[in-house]
Structure 1
Amino acid sequence: MSGFIATGTNAAEHKIENDAFWPDIDCLDLRAAMRLDASVTPERIEAAAINAMIEANRELDLYRRARQEEGHASLADMPAPQIKGESQLLHLYRRTIYCRATAELVERYRSFDATNSGEQKATEDSTNIDELRRDARHALRSILGISHTTVELL
């Protein structure tokens, strides 16, 4: 994320235990994947990740129930193509969480600078937030096996 100052990472970051069906989320992996430096505290990353997990799990609840009725104990047990030795579904779930959490963090860390450069940064952040939310939505829809686009005839 542009505008953040690198100051190292905190060893206190850990995995967030998820519902048994969904994978746990590692805050250090989230930080590294989304290029969040130490100006974003571990507590804020954890709070944003938990919020993202709650929302994604809620949206995927019917999917989870259907898969469990089919006999799958977890998302990792689902038959799916593998990338880097891991189910695509796990990669997509993490992308959903990482993008949603990062969108929340960018929104919270926005500069309130009223100068022209501050206004430009706020515009860039808004675009970045929208792109992160779009990427999260695409990953979630891919898990569900539905198109990334909804078209309606008027």
Structure 2
Amino acid sequence: MSFIAFAPPSAGGAVSLPEAGSVENDGFYPDIVLQDVRDNMRLDGTVTSPRLTQAIVAAVLHVNAELRDWKLGKIAAGFASLAAVPADRINRESVNIAHYRRAVYCWAKADLTERYRDFDSTASSMSDKKMMEALDNAPAEQRRNAHWAIADIVGRSHMTVELI
């Protein structure tokens, strides 16, 4: 006799975890809500809440360090928060906040993808070799997106250089 248990189906095939909580930031940058990261970066229950929190903390630390000099300049100019820095608005929010969240989310997902190499099974129709190549490239692509978001905040152009 054998027994096979299947997970209950959910929208899009992902397991959604209702989750309260956020990673509190330094007061200048916005806090990062765990459920928003899950929703935006398509992270299901494979990534536990403690692991997600750890990845977000590491991402916040990295992005904040990258923006340290820019932030100090804005504080010296009298701006108490990222939201107070003059910028265009999208969806009733400063584009700088959108770029900041993107940088943190992408950096966290790159970290998670490296540690859960096979957790992204959305490309199940690809051959194993193609899937592994896509998963190998995914962290680098997420880090590129994070660097571009940071560049958008500080006003640098996007540039990717690869050694041959």
> TM-score normalized by structure 1?
0.86
Once the two structures are superposed, residues 27-84 of structure 1 have per-residue CA deviations (whole angstroms, 9 ceiling, x without a partner) of 1001000111111111111111100000111111100100000000000111111000
Match of residue 43 from structure 1? 50
8 A Cα contact 1:93 1:143, kept in partner? yes
Match of residue 26 from structure 1? 33
Aligned length: 144
In the TM superposition, residue 109 of structure 1 has moved relative to its aligned partner by 0.3
2:17 & 2:31 partners in 1: Cα distance?
A: 20
Residues 102 and 87 (structure 1), Cα distance of their counterparts in 2 relative to 1, 3 Å cut: same
8 A Cα contact 1:96 1:135, kept in partner? yes
Q: Partner amino acid for 1:132?
A: Q
Match of residue 98 from structure 1? 105
8 A Cα contact 1:10 1:38, kept in partner? no
Q: Percent identity?
A: 40
Match of residue 126 from structure 1? 136
Which aligned segments of 4 or more residues in structure 1 are displaced greater than 4 angstroms?
none
In the TM superposition, residue 91 of structure 1 has moved relative to its aligned partner by 0.1
Residues 150 and 34 (structure 1), Cα distance of their counterparts in 2 relative to 1, 3 Å cut: closer
Structure showing greater radius of gyration is: 2
